Amino acid sequence: MNALKVKRLALGPLAARETLDLVRVLEEGGREHGEAASLDVERFGRWLFEETGGHPLYMAETIKTLLDRGVLAARFGADGAWVVGLAPGVRDTEALRGLVPDSVREAIGAQLSRLSPPASELLAAGAVLGTGFTFEELLRVVSLPEDEALAALDEVLVGRLLREADAENEVYAFTHEKVRDVAYTEAGAARRRVFHRRALAALEEGAPAAWLARHALAAKMPEAAFRHLLAAGDAAMAVLAAEDAIASYERARNLLVGRPGAPRERLSPSLVSGLEHLYVNLGRAHELAGEWEEAEATYEDMLARAREVRDPRLECAAFNHLAVLATQRRSDMARAEVLLRRALEAAEASGD
């Protein structure tokens, strides 16, 4: 008996237009219900492509999951064939964003389990580095000899886990965000923390402060995270992006506050020295955004922290900013005078 030859076909990802064509084939609503239904089909097609990157397996499993959840419904079409109908909930594609079916995670996990140990290490390093990275950056995060790392890189490229995103600059990226998500989870907490610490050291020169803060936070390095969050806030203030600045400064302040019930006064000298920078710039960011109550609350918190750490100079600065704010708002000039007097008393106590 002759054995049949099996031919393996590698299915590449569908393009955005091809994904939309597939959705139109599956769904007859656009032809049956007019323009509004056609717009729903196009909206769903764009969402499906963004979520899956056109990967055939991810698309099939995502559609199955939506059928199971009742977001999509199978029915008989006009010609008696099965078609997929779009439920009203499909119009709210934001509610579906980030959906990762368990079957997709399992399929990716099975693929990762077949990798050699060096390839697994390299992929974990890439997952920690994020959306785009060079081979040299991978080497600085993962402890592999160069030749072994090159072989590992070839393995993950052939397996279509990584792709060459920028050939000219030799930048690599994951073929899909879901692959990066699973690889990051599978790396384990201890490996992620160590790799984030190495990534911070590798990217310290030249990377955006917000990105460095992310690595420092994940590496459980609060002082480095505090420093980079302040720098990220300052960079946002330089371009008058008040909301971004507030977000960075608030995250820095949360590092000081710590867990509920934790003693707030236990701060290292380097964190104490950054208190004035943090509170003054957070208050200014709120002022820039026209959030006067939040600015006042920030300076009041600055005053409380100054008293906790027994820093008359910081107390003086807090009174000054509260007084200036009251003057700018012209809400309570008598209070502004009292605050200025208190600022002078604090300045005398500090010897300034």
CATH number, position 285: 1.25.40.10
Using CA atoms, how far residue 46 sits from 15, 49, 64, 95, in Å, is 11, 5, 17, 14
Nearest to 314 by CA among 322, 306, 324: 306
Confirm whether 6 is domain-assigned: no
Beta-carbon count within 10 A of 2 CB: 4
Return the structure tokens found at 72.
Answer: 């999509």
Nearest to 200 by CA among 235, 167, 165, 224: 224
Return the structure tokens found at 146.
Answer: 């160069």
- Cα–Cα distance between 215 and 341 in angstroms, integer? 44
CATH number at residue 140: 1.10.10
Q: Where are the beta strands (DSSP E) in the chain?
A: 72-76, 82-86, 133-134, 162-166, 171-174
Using CA atoms, how far residue 101 sits from 14, 53, 67, 205, 213, in Å, is 19, 14, 12, 38, 31
Per-residue pLDDT of the chain (352 residues; tens, 9 = 90+): 556 666 665 667 788 888 888 777 766 544 444 455 566 777 788 888 888 878 887 888 888 888 777 777 776 666 666 666 666 655 566 666 666 677 888 888 999 999 999 999 999 999 999 988 999 999 999 989 999 999 999 999 999 899 998 888 899 999 888 899 999 999 999 999 999 999 999 998 888 999 999 999 999 998 899 999 999 999 999 999 999 999 999 999 988 765 433 444 455 666 667 888 999 999 999 999 989 889 989 998 998 888 887 888 888 888 888 878 877 766 555 555 555 566 556 555 555 5
What pLDDT score was predicted for residue 68? 79
Tell me how many domains the chain contains: 3
- Cα–Cα distance between 145 and 123 in angstroms, integer? 15
What pLDDT score was predicted for residue 66? 80
- Cα–Cα distance between 268 and 257 in angstroms, integer? 13
Among 48, 68, 98, where does a domain finish?
Answer: 98
Confirm whether 312 is domain-assigned: yes
Among 71, 98, 125, where does a domain finish?
Answer: 98
pTM: 0.75
Confirm whether 175 is domain-assigned: yes
DSSP secondary structure of 277-311 = HHHHHHHHHHHHTT-HHHHHHHHHHHHHHHHHTT-
What pLDDT score was predicted for residue 131? 83
71 lies in the same domain as 195: no
- Cα–Cα distance between 292 and 146 in angstroms, integer? 55
Range of the domain at 80: 16-98
